[in-house]
Amino acid sequence: MNDVIVVKCGGSTLQQLSDQFFLSMKQLKEQTMTPVIVHGGGPEINALLEKLEVESEFVNGLRKTTSEVLEVVEMVLTGKVNKFLVTKLQLAGVTSLGLSGCDGALLKSVAINQEELGFVGEVIGVDDHFLEKLLSINVVPVIAPVGLGDEGTHFNINADTAAAAIADSLSAQKMVFVTDVDGIMKGNELQKVVSVSEIEEMIDDGTIYGGMIPKVKGAIKCLQGNIEEVFIINGKADNLMCNGELVGTKIVKTKEAVLSYE
């Protein structure tokens, strides 16, 4: 099997993804990479909750998920958002299959804290054999982060957490965070390759600020196990590939690794 690259699409960028983004998934497949896509859907969930007048709140950054909220989460993630992505990939010539973590018991999950968060879960197991079967027949999985617990309980899983668990299980070497910015900027210059320590320095001196801080911190968390590179790319851009490489910021573990790319 080709090298696996896990692509996490944030909910806030889904409707803004360019046609080039979907074509770039085809380009990756035509090279040596096998993409697996994991997506969120926060803004769409918020809109439907408001429309249906279902109350929702966040606790420590996670959406408290009652049984009512869970119904809406599943409708949006496994229905509208998942099939939107699958359709766009198909139009770009990429054979894809929409799944939730419940399908094939793909994401085995348990509650994080049922009393405080309701049906919010964490992943305790990934059926990588199931995913590898799909990848072996040239199908790109598009995964909604809804997990399956004992006795058939469903859980709302943070998309970053789900993507990291899947990447670890498949021994992925690369992860991509699809956002609405070009990457890490220093002045007006895009930083093409940076290390973890350089990112920490840029946070301290204010070069990285605001909404970019959680993005880079999420990326850093993924630099463990087999994952050697994490990319931050702009899903709205018209040109996502250059000379076979993704255009954006590549984050690596050490400064020595940065030097190897120069």
Report how far Cα 89 is from the mean position of its chain's Cα atoms.
16
pLDDT greater than 70 at residue 2: no
Question: 21 Cβ partners below 8 Å, 6+ apart?
Answer: 178, 235, 236, 237, 240
What are the tens digits of pLDDT across the range 17-70? 989 899 989 988 888 788 999 999 999 999 999 999 999 998 888 899 999 999
Q: What is the pLDDT of residue 27?
A: 87
> Does the annotation list 41 as a binding residue?
yes
For residue 149, count other CB atoms closer than 10 A to its CB.
Answer: 17
Count of domains in the chain? 1
pLDDT greater than 60 at residue 1: no
Instruction: Work out the angle between the directed axes of helices 19-30 and 82-91 (0-180°, nearest 10).
Output: 70
> Residue 99: which of 139, 61, 43 has the closest Cα?
139
**How far is the C-alpha of 248 from the C-alpha of 167, rounded, in Å?**
20
**What CATH number is attached to the domain comprising 230?**
3.40.1160.10
Rounded to an integer, the average pLDDT of 90-103 is 95
What is the value of pTM for the model shown?
0.89
**How far is the C-alpha of 100 from the C-alpha of 103, rounded, in Å?**
6
**How far is the C-alpha of 225 from the C-alpha of 253, rounded, in Å?**
11
What are the tens digits of pLDDT across the range 76-88? 999 999 999 999 9
Q: pLDDT band for position 91 (50/70/90)?
A: very high
**How far is the C-alpha of 170 from the C-alpha of 207, rounded, in Å?**
34
Question: 99 Cβ partners below 8 Å, 6+ apart?
Answer: 82, 106, 141, 142, 143, 144
Range of the domain at 62: 3-261
Q: Write down the number of H helices and E strands in the chain.
A: 10, 18
What are the tens digits of pLDDT across the range 116-134? 999 999 999 999 999 999 9
Q: What is the pLDDT of residue 140?
A: 96
Q: pLDDT band for position 257 (50/70/90)?
A: low
> Does the annotation list 10 as a binding residue?
no
**How far is the C-alpha of 190 from the C-alpha of 187, rounded, in Å?**
8
> Does the annotation list 42 as a binding residue?
yes
For residue 162, count other CB atoms closer than 10 A to its CB.
Answer: 28
> Residue 8: which of 149, 163, 145 has the closest Cα?
163
pLDDT greater than 90 at residue 220: no
